[in-house]
Each structure stands twice: as structure tokens, then as C-alpha cells.
């Protein structure tokens, strides 16, 4: 198709602002999907996406729309909305020339609206502002328009009003897309394409979703992934309509797919460049492998399932390149895998997929982040993400951890509570600003480990659900943290170790021993539970031993008989205390890992 007649765009929005529903209306009005086959969230193909009402995997769709007697090819890339998948959003935006900025008329501009808009601006994309849900009784169209105008510096006539549910205003939006979003630029002479997503097929191997930036891509030709220098032959090429439709050729500006035949993980990475062997152009800039944000250990219920768990993780990685894992052993829970994720939602989604797609019920430890440990003497840098590997004495080390920039938009009455919450989570408030309609924008910088400590849940609870939240990664900074070990019967248990802020050390130590005291069952010996850090015991609790009534069968008689039996029991307990070992049941580990 002539590149002049192509328009490539994405829809960006805060969660629940109607992105997937607007995509449904665009597909319906352009006739891409027949009305009888139409259903809600048609681009959300996973059951999990439909149940949660969120987009997890991005999905392209090609629409043909006739305007004034001329056919235009409109390529929509429906992107994930959750901040855990912001890297995928940034790669999708690299594949388009413009975006629809969608804002819910009942909620106004929210925190993640700002984050995704920043991504679009960095790539110099054309932005079409659209206010959605104008048909709802609670819609605040005029107030929302003022917020959007302040955000973009645009005029009222530049902002479209639509209802993605009823289709009102969508025809005008289609015309605006053709009018405002520029066509792809002409080819620079080589053959190269940007990978923005992929999936796995048992028959065709890895199927790459790509945007052709330059040249042509045909079935049967040999291509190369420039990032990993891996060659493959194109088994099939095609477009998304929105289901896959085979075509013999993909040319400059088009969005489509290539079946590679490759069946091993770690080959395809979102953001990589595909090129022909005769290509003379450099790789498309901006590619970087996604880096895990949090780590968690995953163990099979039975050690007999270890190989099956490994195979399941490998299969998941074929469709999710951001998943990283390596084998490890805990000594208590047996052998398992240390897995890297993009965020807490990514942990949930992966766990749910293991349950549904592979019928596994894995044991998952509490997620932690990684730390950079720099030896002050040798300068050696080590990355540690398992608490028990963290140095007990940090005097000879510099510790660094990741920080995040958090944006919160909240009604002003919750401002004081959020400021206190920021203090509790070691956050530094860098900016507050009035945001119209009695709302405030707060920007704060916070250690990533504190964000993982249920910050979002506490923010929602504090603000009765009215505060919106988004975050972006910042650089690493010095960390004032220590390793907290839990000793049971005088022995350190690695599975209970954690890395905590020095500021919260005593509070965390006391909470840990109290929690474990409630969890562990009584045994024949006294169980001493201790929290140790910085070479000293911070908190201690004991569980009394079970005692058998050794005099219960006696009926009267001399009291010395009872005393002898009790003395004998006392000596036996003393001997058992020296030789005995505490047995920690497996469910105790699971209960300690769960946050209350």
C-alpha cells in the first residue's frame, strides 16, 4: 500500500478510561468486524484480560476507512494500560506517528495520563486529545476540557468529545486521525523493521509483530535479529485484521507479522530490529532489554514437579521476554526458581497463568528488589536480590538501590494524610501543584523497596479510592538498609531473612518474631525465636514446650512420688532441649510470606 495512505496510531490513557471500548467502536464503524461478530474488548484475547478489564498484551488491528472517495489504511496498536507494562507501551509508541490521548469525562486527567503523555512527547508524536464517556450523567465535560487544555496548551476546538460506548463522535475522530496524524516517512533505502510484540505458536514458532520502517519484507526471505545476531527464514508474512491475514509482502509504513520458525527463548526482544541480510541501515535506536523490577522465588508444591515448572516457565518466556529466571535452592522449600518481574501486577499475571495454562499451584515468596553492593576496597560491584546473600556487616560496602518518581493526583481533602504517608514510606516530596476541580498533583521520589511495601493499597485506602497513581524509574541511589535474620532455636532460617530500612529495623524485627510466634505450633522443647541484625539480637520471643501430665494416673499417696516424676520429666526436658531440633512445618513459611 502507498505509505501516503497509511496512518499508524495508538490509544493512550489511564486505566479504565475506555481505551479498549473505543478500539471496539473504531473496528465496528470501519466495518473491520461485522456487527454480528462484535463483542466487548475484542482486542483483549486473554481470559485474564476480560476478567480484570485490563489490557495485558498489546494487539494491533488494521482498518480500512473510506473518506471522500479515498481508502485509508488505519493501523491501531492497542497498548497495555498498567504501569508495570510501560516498557511495552514505549516500544509500541515507537512504531506509530500519532496517539489518541483519551480522558474519562467523569474522572478528568489522572496520574497515568501524565506518564503516557510524557512518553508520546519524548517521541515527538502527534497528539489528538479526546474526552470520553460524555454520555454519562456524572460527566464533567467542561472541567475536563480545561484540564486537557492546560495540559496540552491547546484550544477548545482541538478537543473531541466521544462516547466509546454509544459511538457518538467516533466518525469525527476517524476523520481527525486521517487529517492530523502524518503518514509514514519514505524508506531510507534499506530493509528494517521494529519488533513491538510477539507470540508463540507450536507450529510456526515465534511470530513477531513488527512495524516496517524501511524497505520490504517477503515470505521465504532470510532475515536477522540485529540485537542478538540470529538469522531466520520468514515462513509466513501477514497483517492483523484484527485476526491474522496472510499477505506475500509487507512494505514501508505497514504493520504486520512474520512467522520465524524459531522455538527457543531469549531470541526475540521487544524493541529489537529485524533486517534483511543486504540491509545497509543501522539498528533502530532506543532498544534496551526490559529490566526486572522485583524478584520472587517460585517453588513447586512437590519436588517431583520441578522439571515441569521449569518447562512451564520456559514456555511462558516464549511469549513474555521480560520474564527472567534461574534455578536456586532454599534448603527448606527445596529447589525452585528465582524469577524477575516488571512489577507486582506482572507477578500476579504470571502466577495466574501458571495455574490456568499449566495446572500448577506454585509456592511464591514475598517479592524483593535487587541491590548493588560495591566493595569500597576492591571496587567490585555485585547485584544481590536474595536477602540471605546480603552482607551482614555493610561497613566495607556501598549499597545502592533503585528509586522511583511517583505522581499522585488526589482531592485536596486527602493531602495531609498523603503527606504523612509519604513520610512513613521514606518519600521526598519534590512538587505539589493545584490541578483544577479541587484536586492536587503531588510528585515524590521514593525507594523502590518502599513502593513494594503495599504503598498503593495504603494510598487507595487513605484516599477512599479517589487518588490516582503512577510511577517511573529513576537512577540508583545510596541505600541505608540492613539484613534482618530470623533465628529459630539458635539457627538462622534463610527463607525468613529480609532486607529492611535501618529506620524501620526494630519495628520490622518485633513484627517478624511476633508473627512467627503465632504461626509455629508448640513442640516438645521450648522454641526461642530471635531477630538478629548488625551483630546483635533486636527482638526475641519464646514458645513454651508441650508438657505431658506425668502424674495424672496417681491416686493419692505420698507427695514424694509426684515430685520424683516431675523431677524426672524436668531432667528429660533439659536433655531434649540440648539435643532437640525445631521442626518448622511448610505452611509456616507460606504464612510468613503472606502480608497481612
Residues 59, 113 within the same domain: yes
Residue 593 has pLDDT above 70, yes or no: no
Asked if residue 227 and residue 173 are part of one domain, the reply reads no
> Tell me, what CATH number does 440's domain have?
3.30.70.240
Q: Are both 464 and 487 inside the same structural domain? A: no
- Let me know whether 117 and 206 are in one domain: no
Rounded Cα distance, 33 and 25, in Å: 10
State whether 196 and 136 are in the same domain.
no
Looking at every residue in the chain, the average pLDDT score rounds to: 84
- Asked if residue 305 is part of any domain, the answer here is yes
Averaged pLDDT for residues 414-439:
90
CB 126 within 8 A of CB 97: yes
With respect to residue 260, please indicate whether it lies within any of the assigned structural domains: yes
The CATH number covering residue 218 comes to 2.40.30.10
| Residue ending a domain, choose from 244, 276, 308 | 276
Residue at a domain's end among 160, 180, 200 = 180
* Residues 130 and 114 reside in one and the same domain: yes
> Which residue in this structure is represented by grid cell 512420688?
561
The answer on 472 and 399 residing in a single domain is yes
pLDDT of residue 558: 67
pLDDT confidence of residue 176 = 95
CATH of residue 327's domain is 3.30.70.870
Cβ-based burial of 190 (10 A; exposed 0-12, middle 13-18, buried ≥19): middle
Q: Of 117-131, 327-341, 566-580, which range is least confident? A: 566-580
Q: Are residues 396 and 498 in the same domain?
A: no
CATH, residue 553: 3.30.70.2570
Q: Is 400 a member of any domain? A: yes
> Does the structure show a pLDDT above 50 at 398?
yes
In a domain, 185, yes or no: no
CA distance 393 to 395: 6
Report whether pLDDT(42) > 50. Answer: no
Q: Is residue 299 part of a domain?
A: yes
Torsion 340-346-351-355 (CA) sign? negative
pLDDT score recorded for residue 427: 94
Of 512 and 88, more confident: 512
Q: Which of these three, 478, 493, 512, is where a domain ends?
A: 478
Residue 50 has pLDDT above 50, yes or no: no
- Condensed to tens digits (0 to 9), the pLDDT of residues 138-188 reads 999 999 999 999 889 999 999 999 998 899 999 999 999 999 999 999 888
Rg of the chain (C-alpha set):
29
Question: What total of structural domains would you count in the chain?
Answer: 5
* Rounded Cα gap, residues 563 and 324, in angstroms: 63
Question: What is the pLDDT at residue 422?
Answer: 94
The answer to the question of residue 376 being in a domain is yes
> What per-residue confidence (pLDDT) applies to 41?
47
Query: Quick one: average pLDDT of 385-410?
Result: 89
Helix, strand, coil % over all residues of the chain, rounded to 5: 30, 35, 35
Bigger pLDDT: 419 vs 41: 419
This prediction has a pTM of 0.77
User: For residue 458, which of 420, 432, 428, 429 has the smallest C-alpha distance?
Assistant: 420
| Boundaries of domain holding 513 | 482-593
Q: How confident is the model at residue 579 (pLDDT cuts 50, 70, 90)?
A: low
CA gap 186, 334 in Å, rounded: 57
Alpha helices in 425-545 (DSSP H): 448-451, 455-462, 505-519
Q: Do 154 and 51 lie in a common domain?
A: yes
Q: Are residues 491 and 522 in the same domain?
A: yes
Helix axes 306-318, 344-358, angle to 10 degrees: 120
The predicted structure's pLDDT at residue 40: 52
If you count them, how many residues does the chain have? 596
Question: Do 300 and 418 fall within a single domain?
Answer: no
CA-to-CA separations, 158 to 108, 123, 132, 149, in angstroms, rounded: 17, 21, 14, 9
- Per-residue pLDDT tens over the stretch 504-516: 999 999 999 999 9
Structure confidence at residue 506 (pLDDT): 93
Over residues 346-387, the pLDDT tens digits come to 888 888 888 888 898 887 777 788 899 999 988 899 988 888
Residue by residue, DSSP assigns 434-484 as E-STTEEEEEEEEEHHHHTTTHHHHHHHHTTT--EEEEEEEEEEE--EEEE
In a domain? residue 283: no
Same structural domain, 78 and 48: yes
In a domain, 289, yes or no: no
Amino acid at each position: 500500500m502507498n505509505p501516503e495512505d497509511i496512518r499508524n496510531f495508538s490509544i493512550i490513557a489511564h486505566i479504565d478510561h475506555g481505551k479498549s471500548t473505543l478500539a471496539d467502536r473504531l473496528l465496528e464503524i470501519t466495518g473491520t468486524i461485522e456487527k454480528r461478530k462484535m463483542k466487548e474488548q475484542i482486542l483483549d484475547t486473554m481470559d485474564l484480560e476480560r476478567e480484570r478489564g485490563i489490557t495485558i498484551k498489546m494487539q494491533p488491528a488494521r482498518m480500512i476507512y473510506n473518506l471522500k472517495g479515498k481508502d485509508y489504511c488505519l493501523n491501531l496498536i492497542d497498548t497495555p494500560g498498567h504501569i508495570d507494562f510501560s516498557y511495552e507501551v514505549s516500544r509500541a509508541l515507537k512504531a506509530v506517528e500519532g496517539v489518541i490521548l483519551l480522558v474519562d469525562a467523569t474522572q478528568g486527567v489522572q496520574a497515568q495520563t501524565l506518564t503516557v503523555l510524557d512518553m508520546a512527547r519524548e517521541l515527538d508524536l502527534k497528539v489528538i486529545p479526546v474526552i470520553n464517556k460524555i454520555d454519562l450523567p456524572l460527566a464533567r465535560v467542561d472541567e475536563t476540557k480545561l484540564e486537557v487544555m492546560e495540559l496540552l496548551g491547546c484550544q477548545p476546538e482541538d478537543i473531541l468529545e466521544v462516547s466509546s460506548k454509544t459511538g457518538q463522535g467516533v466518525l469525527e475522530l476517524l476523520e481527525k486521525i486521517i487529517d492530523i496524524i502524518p503518514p509514514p516517512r519514505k524508506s531510507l533505502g534499506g530493509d528494517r523493521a521494529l519488533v513491538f510484540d510477539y507470540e508463540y505458536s507450536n507450529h510456526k514458532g515465534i511470530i513477531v509483530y513488527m512495524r516496517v520502517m524501511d524497505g520490504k519484507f517477503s515470505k521465504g526471505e532470510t532475515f536477522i535479529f540485529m540485537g542478538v545476531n540470529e538469522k531466520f527464514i520468514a515462513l509466513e508474512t501477514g497483517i492483523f485484521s484484527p485476526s491474522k491475514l496472510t499477505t506475500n509482502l509487507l512494505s514501508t509504513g505497514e504493520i504486520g507479522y512474520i512467522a520465524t520458525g524459531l522455538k527457543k527463548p531469549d531470541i526475540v526482544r521487544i524493541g529489537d530490529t529485524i533486517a534483511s541480510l543486504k540491509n545497509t541501515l543501522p539498528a533502530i535506536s532506543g532498544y534496551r532489554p526490559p529490566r526486572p523490577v522485583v524478584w520472587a522465588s517460585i517453588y513447586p508444591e512437590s519436588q517431583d514437579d520441578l522439571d515441569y515448572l521449569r518447562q512451564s516457565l520456559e514456555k511462558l518466556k516464549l511469549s513474555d521476554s521480560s520474564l527472567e529466571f534461574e534455578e536456586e535452592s532454599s534448603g527448606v522449600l527445596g529447589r525452585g526458581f528465582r524469577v524477575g518481574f516488571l512489577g507486582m501486577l506482572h507477578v500476579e499475571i504470571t502466577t495466574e497463568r501458571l495455574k490456568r495454562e499449566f495446572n500448577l499451584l506454585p509456592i511464591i515468596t514475598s517479592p524483593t528488589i535487587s541491590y548493588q553492593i560495591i566493595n569500597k576496597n576492591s571496587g567490585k560491584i555485585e547485584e544481590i536480590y536474595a536477602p540471605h546473600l546480603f552482607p551482614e556487616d555493610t561497613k566495607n560496602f556501598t549499597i545502592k538501590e533503585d528509586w522511583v518518581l511517583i505522581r499522585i493526583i488526589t482531592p485536596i481533602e486527602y493531602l495531609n494524610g498523603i503527606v504523612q504517608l509519604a513520610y512513613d514510606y521514606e518519600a521526598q516530596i519534590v512538587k505539589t501543584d493545584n490541578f483544577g476541580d479541587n484536586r492536587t498533583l503531588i510528585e515524590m521520589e521514593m525507594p523502590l523497596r518502599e513502593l513494594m511495601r503495599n504503598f498503593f493499597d495504603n494510598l487507595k485506602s487513605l484516599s477512599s479510592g479517589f487518588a490516582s497513581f503512577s510511577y517511573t524509574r529513576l537512577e540508583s541511589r545510596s541505600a541505608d538498609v540492613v539484613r534482618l535474620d530470623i533465628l529459630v532455636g539458635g539457627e538462622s532460617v534463610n527463607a525468613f531473612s529480609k532486607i529492611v530500612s535501618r529506620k524501620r529495623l526494630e519495628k520490622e524485627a518485633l513484627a517478624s518474631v511476633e508473627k512467627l510466634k503465632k504461626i509455629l505450633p508448640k513442640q516438645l522443647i521450648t522454641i526461642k525465636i530471635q531477630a538478629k541484625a548488625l551483630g546483635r539480637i533486636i527482638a526475641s520471643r519464646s514458645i513454651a514446650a508441650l508438657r505431658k501430665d506425668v502424674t495424672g494416673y496417681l491416686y493419692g499417696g505420698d507427695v514424694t512420688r509426684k515430685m520424683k516424676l516431675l523431677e524426672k520429666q524436668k531432667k528429660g526436658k533439659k536433655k531434649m532441649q540440648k539435643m532437640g531440633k525445631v521442626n518448622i512445618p511448610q505452611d509456616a513459611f507460606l504464612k510468613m510470606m503472606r502480608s497481612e
